Amino acid sequence: MENVQKNIHTDEMINKIPVRLLKNKIYKGLFLLAALFTFILLVVLLARIFSQGASHLSWDFLQNFASRRPEQAGIKAAVIGTLWMMAVVVPVSLLLGVGTAVYLEEYAGKNRMTRFIQMNISNLAGVPSVVFGLLGLTLFVRVLFLGNSILAAGLTMSLLILPVIIVASQEAIRAVPKELREAAYGLGATKWQMILRVVLPSAIAGILTGSILAFSRAIGETAPLVVIGIPAFVAFLPKSVFDSFTALPMQIYNWTSRPQEEFHFLAAAGIIVLLVILILMNSVAVWIRNRYENKY
């Protein structure tokens, strides 16, 4: 009797195989179409940008300041301003983000308050960027009287990407094997020595992966800069973090809002420059990540 039931069950499984294979092919085709659709959109976008902006890339375009005349306009102030802003964003967001992740994972107790903080950090990762712009306007521009300076913009952008860095850092720290921690304690290391010499080096690859994505978002955001009043037309270079400045997203936004078609071509050229800066910045971060990944 048992053999008969096993044979019946086996026959049912064999009869279902063609249906399962068909479903597998259908889902595989759907996923392939989704990937192709995304890839085609990206190719079309890049082709349009390069077809409009490549001819306007020149040394004069990189050396000139913004101008009301398209043939004389450049992005020197915007590029330097963007680099100044990221010089504030990178250290501030990394120190606060990784520090918060280390505290939540290694020091904070697993209680209701910790879960509440964790839940709010995760929710902040999905808040629209304009909300962080309003926070920066209230706190940094008006309360701290920083005005539309590099420091105000950098701190605002740091708040924008902090949740992403915190969550990514926590996941990377959790992935460090427990045995490494116990081995460090067994050799007489203190908790801070264990974190500094074992946990962070082992988690640096995951931390930098999330940070790369966060920095890419910060360098391309426009809404927070508009809210805190960063000017779109600047014809000078900043000398300190307290000076006014403009950034590439603001310059591109200004050019795209102009009715003249020549400014739209300049905006496309500015997007190409922004993409190059992103690629260079990400390449350095990937190199650092791979170096530590191979070492640990």
In this prediction, residue 295 has a pLDDT band, given cuts at 50, 70 and 90, of low
Give the C-alpha separation, 258 to 266, whole Å: 11
Per-residue pLDDT band for 1 (boundaries 50, 70, 90) equals low
Q: For residue 86, what are the contacts with CB-CB under 8 A and spacing of at least 6?
A: 154, 215, 218, 219, 281
Q: Domain residues of the chain, as ranges?
A: 10-56, 59-293
**Spatial separation of the C-alpha atoms in residues 101 and 59, rounded to whole Å:** 43
Using CA atoms of 85, 88, 89, 92 in order, give the dihedral in degrees to the nearest 10. Answer: -170
| Closest C-alpha to 122, from 169, 157, 172, 166 | 166
Instruction: Say which amino acid occupies 121.
Output: I
Q: How far, in Å, CA of 194 to CA of 209, rounded?
A: 22
Structure token pair of residue 277:
């800066």
Identity of the residue numbered 168 = A
- Give me the phi and psi of 252, to 5 degrees please: -65, -45
Least confident of 119-133, 141-155, 282-296: 282-296
pLDDT band at 9 (very low <50, low <70, confident <90, very high): low
Q: What is the DSSP letter of 239?
A: -
Structure confidence at residue 8 as a pLDDT band (50, 70, 90): low
Does the pTM exceed 0.85? no
Res 11: pLDDT: 63
Q: What is the DSSP letter of 126?
A: T
The answer to whether 244 touches 148, Cβ cutoff 8 Å, is yes
Half-sphere exposure for 229 (CA within 13 Å, toward CB): 13
3-class SS of residue 135:
helix
- Position 218 pLDDT exceeds 60: yes
Taking a C-beta distance cutoff of 8 angstroms, is the pair 141, 76 a contact?
A: no
**Confidence at 7, pLDDT banded by 50, 70, 90:** low
For domain 59-293, give the CATH number: 1.10.3720.10
Residues 6 or more apart in contact with residue 203 via CB below 8 angstroms = 169, 172, 173, 175, 176
β-bridge partners, 149: 244
| 137 DSSP assignment | I
- Give the Cα separation of 145 and 231 in Å (integer): 17
Which of 22, 198, 203, 169 is closest to 96 using CA atoms?
A: 169
Region of 178 on the Ramachandran plot (φ > 0 left; ψ -120 to 50 alpha; else beta)? alpha
Looking at per-residue pLDDT, the higher value among 34 and 188 belongs to: 34
